[in-house]
Amino acid sequence: MSSNGISVDEAKTLICELCRLFYDQGWVSGTGGGISVKAGDEIVMAPSGVQKERMQPDDMFVLDSKGDIIHTPAAKPPPNRPPKLSECSSLFMAAYELRGAGAVIHSHSMNAVLATMLDPAASEFVITHVEMIKGIEGHGFYGKCVVPVIENTARECELTDRLRQAIADYPQANAVLVRRHGVYVWGKDWIQAKTQAECYDYLFEAAVRMHGMGLDYRRPPPPNFADAAAAAANGSNGHASEPAAKKAKTRHAALPAAVVLDIEGTVAPISYVADVMFPYAQQHCRSFLESTYDAAETQADIDLIRTQAAADVAEGRAGAAAVPEPGAGQAAVVEAVAGWVQAAIAADRKVTALKNLQGHIWRSGFSSGALQAELFRDVPDALVEWRSAGVKTYIYSSGSREAQRLFFGYSKVGDLRPYLCGFFDTTSGAKTEAGSYSNIALSLGVDSPSDILFATDVLAEAQAAAAAGWRAVLVERPGNKALPAGHGFRVISSMQELLQ
Which residues carry out catalysis?
131
In the three-class reduction of DSSP (H, G, I as helix; E, B as strand; rest coil), residue 144 is classed as strand
Q: Within 10 Å of residue 352's Cβ, how many Cβ atoms?
A: 15
User: How far apart are alpha carbons 337 and 334 in whole angstroms?
Assistant: 5
Q: Is the distance from CB of 182 to CB of 106 less than 8 angstroms? A: yes
Which of 302, 303, 323, 301 lies closest to 312 in space, CA to CA?
Answer: 323
Q: Is the distance from CB of 47 to CB of 87 less than 8 angstroms? A: no
Q: Is 199 annotated as a binding residue?
A: no
Q: Within 10 Å of residue 13's Cβ, how many Cβ atoms?
A: 15
User: How far apart are alpha carbons 37 and 51 in whole angstroms?
Assistant: 18
User: How far apart are alpha carbons 16 and 13 in whole angstroms?
Assistant: 5
Q: Residue 441, exposed/middle/buried by CB under 10 A (0-12, 13-18, 19+)?
A: buried
CA distances to 288, 294, 362 from 283, rounded to whole Å, are 9, 20, 11
CA distances to 92, 95, 177, 234 from 168, rounded to whole Å, are 15, 10, 14, 32
Q: Is the distance from CB of 498 to CB of 453 less than 8 angstroms? A: yes
Q: Is 397 annotated as a binding residue?
A: yes
Q: Is 58 annotated as a binding residue?
A: no
- In the sheet with 42-45, reading across from the earlier edge strand, the strands are 69-71, 61-63, 42-45, 34-39, 103-107, 182-187, 175-178, 144-150, 124-128
User: Which residues are CB-neighbours of 411 under 8 A, at least 6 positions away?
Assistant: 140, 142, 143, 372, 373, 374, 375, 380
Q: Is 398 annotated as a binding residue?
A: yes
Q: Is 194 annotated as a binding residue?
A: no
CA distances to 301, 311, 312, 333 from 307, rounded to whole Å, are 10, 6, 9, 13
Q: Is the distance from CB of 407 to CB of 268 less than 8 angstroms? A: yes
User: How far apart are alpha carbons 466 and 468 in whole angstroms?
Assistant: 5
Q: Is 431 annotated as a binding residue?
A: yes
Q: Is the distance from CB of 148 to CB of 124 less than 8 angstroms? A: yes
User: Which residues are CB-neighbours of 102 under 8 A, at least 6 positions away?
Assistant: 4, 37, 38, 187, 188, 189, 190, 192, 193
User: How far apart are alpha carbons 188 and 104 in whole angstroms?
Assistant: 9
User: How far apart are alpha carbons 294 and 329 in whole angstroms?
Assistant: 12
Q: Is the distance from CB of 144 to CB of 138 less than 8 angstroms? A: no
Q: Which residues are annotated as a binding site for Zn(2+)?
A: 106, 108, 181
Binding-site residues for substrate, in ranges, read: 88, 397-398, 431
**Annotated binding site: which residue ranges?**
88, 106, 108, 181, 262, 264, 397-398, 431, 457
Report the binding-site residues for Mg(2+).
262, 264, 457
